[in-house]
A and B are shown apart, each in its own frame.
Chain A
Amino acid sequence: GENVEQHPSTLSVQEGDSAVIKCTYSDSASNYFPWYKQELGKRPQLIIDIRSNVGEKKDQRIAVTLNKTAKHFSLHITETQPEDSAVYFCAASLTGGGNKLTFGTGTQLKVEL
């Protein structure tokens, strides 16, 4: 089955700096890669996603890049703000697998003032 690895497990940045979180996946059949943000005690919420036919997608301060050949994808957050502090999860979806999302292990992002 699919295996998703995520790094780093914790990340501290100064407010205004950029943050990058990286994931790799094992199943070349995966074609959908969402990112979720989970604030303390709350539900994971979809913040951005990318399909395998696209190499990059941007939404304001958030961008995701995908390298299908290398089987890795990354989340980039620019001009970080304290409210960006949360746990971020990457995930990959197996095609035809009932839309099952396999999640990475999460990255605790802390944006310091």
Chain B
Amino acid sequence: DTAVSQTPKYLVTQMGNDKSIKCEQNLGHDTMYWYKQDSKKFLKIMFSYNNKELIINETVPNRFSPKSPDKAHLNLHINSLELGDSAVYFCASSHSIGLSGQGRYGYTFGSGTRLTVV
């Protein structure tokens, strides 16, 4: 029973191609995220969705387009892939901050998708 599952685990593709990564969580969380981990292991947020609505959109090229069909799924589509897009992409989920600010914040990460652009 994987809590946050990502597919594919590995993705090797040529420059200029378009690819998608899928993420699903069965934890009942209402917030999902995409993080990028570069070769130096730095984890940087890309997007966040709460109940299917985009709430965080960091400085990410518009070649990256997230989509959340429901609160249990968050996909990432990347157009015109570039060499610099090579990284590990992690999906994560959590409960949101409640109106009282007493939300449970801990993230659960997926196993990651290692994207290599050649």
Q: Do A and B bind each other?
A: yes
Which residues of A does B touch, CB under 8 Å? Answer: 32, 34, 36, 38, 42-46, 49, 87, 89, 93, 95-103, 105-106
Q: List 27 A-B contacts (CB under 8 A).
A: A42-B111, A43-B90, A43-B109, A44-B107, A46-B106, A46-B108, A49-B105, A87-B41, A89-B43, A93-B105, A96-B101, A97-B56, A98-B50, A98-B56, A98-B97, A99-B31, A99-B48, A99-B94, A99-B95, A99-B105, A100-B45, A100-B48, A100-B56, A101-B45, A101-B107, A103-B42, A106-B41
Smallest Cβ-Cβ distance to A96: which chain B residue = B97
B112 within 8 A of A: yes
A43 with B103, Cβ < 8 A, contacts A95-B97, A96-B97, A106-B41 known: no
CA–CA, A87 to B43, complex, Å? 12
A sample of 15 more A-B contacts (CB under 8 A), given A44-B43, A46-B107, A98-B56, is A38-B41, A42-B111, A43-B109, A43-B110, A43-B112, A44-B107, A95-B97, A97-B56, A98-B96, A99-B94, A99-B97, A99-B103, A101-B105, A101-B107, A103-B43
Chief secondary structure at chain A's binding surface: strand
In the assembled complex, the CB of B46 is this many whole angstroms from the nearest CB of chain A, namely 11
In the assembled complex, the CB of A38 is this many whole angstroms from the nearest CB of chain B, namely 8
B118 within 8 A of A: no
**Which residue in A36, A46, A101, A106 is a CB contact (below 8 Å) of B42?**
A106
Q: Is the CB of A44 within 8 A of B111?
A: no
**Which residue in B55, B110, B111 is a CB contact (below 8 Å) of A98?**
B55
**Which residue in B42, B96, B110 is a CB contact (below 8 Å) of A105?**
B42
A32 with B55, Cβ < 8 A, contacts A99-B31, A99-B48 known: no
CA–CA, A95 to B56, complex, Å? 13
**Which residue in B94, B101, B105, B109 is a CB contact (below 8 Å) of A45?**
B109
In the assembled complex, the CB of B37 is this many whole angstroms from the nearest CB of chain A, namely 9
B55 / chain A contacts, CB cutoff of 8 Å: 98
